[in-house]
Copies of this chain bind each other. A is one copy, B any other.
């Protein structure tokens, strides 16, 4: 359960064919569109990893190419050889991020039972907050700024997925397997409580104090959230 570094390998590695070609064509003033070379692939990954580090802390405007280049261990012009503009790096990061971010919700299975399903959804989200805190912060940063660069994806992909899963939740409620409540706000509350441990990590650490700061705090959080949601969503026996 390593929570540090290298964590974005899977994220940065899946940028969607189309984008690759795009980036390539843009990155290289030379005419032809060729497959990426080994060095191109490696360096792009190094850059995206560094960019994740910097963007997730300072947001788009607050991050500088110099900074990213330094973290990536290369010169600024060299970095710009791979990604001709700052926005391009951010775009690639966000595109990959959204995929990863929605994956856990996608797994929630309508044919399963609500409590195991919701419980493991919470677990997965909490694990992501633990293992990919920078991704969580990158996302949060974008949201805070009004999501200018991903608003369409939010309004399409994300909204559709949530709509679909809200239906699943409503189904469970109709079957009396889940307390009747607002499925959208239910999903929001799971997002909020789990991502909190990545986004407000400093605060959580400061409040818990040095004594409770091992990875154990995630176990405690998991236990607490499980209790909260399982109790909170247990259906009342019809009457009263």
Contacts and interface: CB of A to CB of B under 8 A. Distances in A.
Contact of A232 (B57, B143, B212, B227): B227
Interface residues of A, number: 58
Interface string A133-166: 0000100110111110001001100110010000
B203 A57 contact: no
Contact of A185 (B145, B199, B224, B234): B224
Interface stretch (A24-32, A35-43, A70-78, A188-196): A188-196
Interface in A181-240: 181-182, 184-186, 188-189, 191-193, 195-197, 199-200, 202-204, 206-209, 212, 220-221, 223-225, 227-229, 231-234
Copies of this protein chain in the complex: 2
A58 interface: yes
A156 B193 CA distance: 24
B182 A144 contact: no
Contacts of A132: none
A202 B57 contact: no
A154 B227 contact: no
A56 to B, nearest CB: 8
A60 interface: yes
Given A57-B144, A141-B144, A224-B189, A202 B162 contact: no
10 contacts: A58-B59, A59-B62, A61-B63, A137-B144, A140-B200, A147-B202, A154-B203, A184-B207, A189-B193, A189-B196
